Amino acid sequence: MLNKLVLRALLSISLALSFTGAANAALITQDILDNGAVIGNVTIDSGEAFLWEGNEFIVEEFVSFNLFGFDLVDFGGFEAYFNSSDLESGLSSLNFDVSDTNDDYAFSGTIWDSSFWADPSVNDNYIDAWNQSTGDPALFSFDVTLGDVSSVPTPATFVLFLTAVAGLVARRKTF
């Protein structure tokens, strides 16, 4: 009886520890602003990131991305950089070459977080859009910035709680 209890406890602990590795992963959603107005947002999964430099990580795929009401798909490249030790600060840089799902419009751009530059007068931010069937420009703006951030951690705490409940149920059944 004691062996079963110890075995179940070790099983519960190993199950709980297997999920804690994902505790640092999170979905990061950030608004994109043009002259202070929200024009879109991007969501990345930090669990898909790899180390770039220091605490900076890079993600080359997005979970969702929309601009001006268009849902976008990657066709030329996507890079989002963030600091792994401060997910709440959001993205430090966003570079993209994407199109809408109907292939009507293409969008490209680079947006840096304003706190990234030591010199606040530096602004290399832009979004460029064009009509893919005619090749005509549809938009060009230098006044784009990264806006509000929301970070949602993976549910490792919930898994730990369920493991504890399972351990209590198993303990109750043994006695």
The neighbour count for residue 30, using CB atoms within 10 Å, is 24
Looking at residue 122, its pLDDT comes to 62
| Side-chain-side CA neighbours of residue 69 (13 Å) | 1
Percent of the chain with pLDDT over 90: 43
Strand partners, 93: 81, 112
pLDDT at 160 over 70: no
Residue 75: band (very low, low, confident or very high) from pLDDT cuts 50, 70, 90:
confident
pLDDT at 1 over 80: no
Residue 22: band (very low, low, confident or very high) from pLDDT cuts 50, 70, 90:
very low
Residues whose CB is less than 8 angstroms from the CB of residue 43 and which lie 6 or more positions away in sequence, other chains included: 27, 28, 29, 30, 62, 63, 64, 65
Mean pLDDT of 139-161: 77
Mean pLDDT of 153-169: 65
Looking at residue 154, its pLDDT comes to 58
The neighbour count for residue 60, using CB atoms within 10 Å, is 13
Position with higher pLDDT, 139 vs 22:
139
H or E element in which residue 78 lies: strand 70-83
Looking at residue 76, its pLDDT comes to 84
Q: Using CA atoms, how far apart are residues 72 and 63, in angstroms rounded to an integer?
A: 10
Q: Using CA atoms, how far apart are residues 30 and 35, in angstroms rounded to an integer?
A: 16
- The distance between the two most distant Cα atoms of the chain, rounded to a whole number of Å, is 77
Mean per-residue pLDDT of the chain = 81
pLDDT at 164 over 60: yes
| Beta carbons of 97 and 76 less than 8 angstroms apart | yes
Looking at residue 171, its pLDDT comes to 66
Burial of 166 (0-12, 13-18, 19+ CB in 10 A): middle
pLDDT at 62 over 90: yes
Residue 109: band (very low, low, confident or very high) from pLDDT cuts 50, 70, 90:
very high
| Beta carbons of 34 and 144 less than 8 angstroms apart | yes
Looking at residue 161, its pLDDT comes to 65
